[in-house]
Amino acid sequence: MPAVLALLASGARLGGPGIARRLGISRAAVWKQVAALRATGLEIDSDSEGYRLARPLDGLDVRSVLAGLPDSTRKRLGKVENHWRLDSTSSECLRRAAELPDLSFVFADWQDAGRGRRGRRWVSPPATNLQFSCLKRFPTGYAALSGLSLAVGVAVVRALADCGADDLGLKWPNDLVHDDAKLGGILVELGGEFMGPCHAVIGIGINVRLPDAARRALDRPCTDLASLPGAMLPSRNALATALIIRLSDALDTFEISGFTAFTHAWAARDALAGRRIRVETGHGAFDGVAEGVDARGALRVRAADGVHCLDSAEVSVRAT
């Protein structure tokens, strides 16, 4: 963590000259660090009395996360680690796929090259939201992992409900939504042998408290846990603990039963079912009505020429 941010982390207001003396740097250097932190999306107020974070940092502490896990979960885990800064937690897992044990979790307070589907960036200021990746190994090949991102979505909304954030939906194939505003996303990347064994790197990002500047940088409606009506905002540690528990259980179930074990839970959270949507594929675009997903997790869309089952597409809700 940058030295200036470490001093400001508590939320106290500190004067520039005092920061400079404590760190043994010039006031100009302090100003440059503050400017660099603001450029990442952190909200730092300033006045004649000094600098102050708009709100204290909610630090992620692996020891606290592990302490909150039941023994049955803790014993199954591989590595659990948190980094101050990474390009991407999924990239880190992919780089270390050969060495990381099964069911390893890699968190980062800050990703400067986080990514979503189709090359989109995941925008998040440091130590503000929750972003992490899980490496899960499977003895089977790629074909057996159909519907994995949907099963993960079910686990994530269950974990959020455990933390008091209910009334969330799942937008096929990988978005967590509230009233059609994006709360989080899931990205699954596969590696290993096509026919097996293989591994999945499951990247998850959840908006805990999204500053206005970060909202403006996004190209679609979004929300965060802090904005949900009636919900108590969980700490990032509590959220990480709940997610590890639910994901560990869900991935074990998926390995045995596949997406079949999650079809009813997915349908109960399906944010598209029965709605008019616009579908864009590599072969063109068309309008239709979403009719849930099939046994593989493919999206069923009733269009003028019949029912389409889609494994990959861009989907948007049409105005009624």
Active site amino acids: 117, 182, 318
The C-alpha atoms of residue 100 and residue 297 are separated, in whole angstroms, by 28
- Burial environment of residue 318 by CB neighbours within 10 A (0 to 12, 13 to 18, 19 or more): exposed
The C-alpha atoms of residue 113 and residue 40 are separated, in whole angstroms, by 12
- Residue 128's H or E segment, with its range, is none
The C-alpha atoms of residue 221 and residue 243 are separated, in whole angstroms, by 24
The C-alpha atoms of residue 317 and residue 268 are separated, in whole angstroms, by 18
Nearest to 151 by CA among 129, 174, 183: 174
Query: Is the distance from CB of 246 to CB of 159 less than 8 angstroms?
Result: yes
- Residue 105's H or E segment, with its range, is strand 104-111
Which letter does DSSP use for residue 211 in this model?
A: -
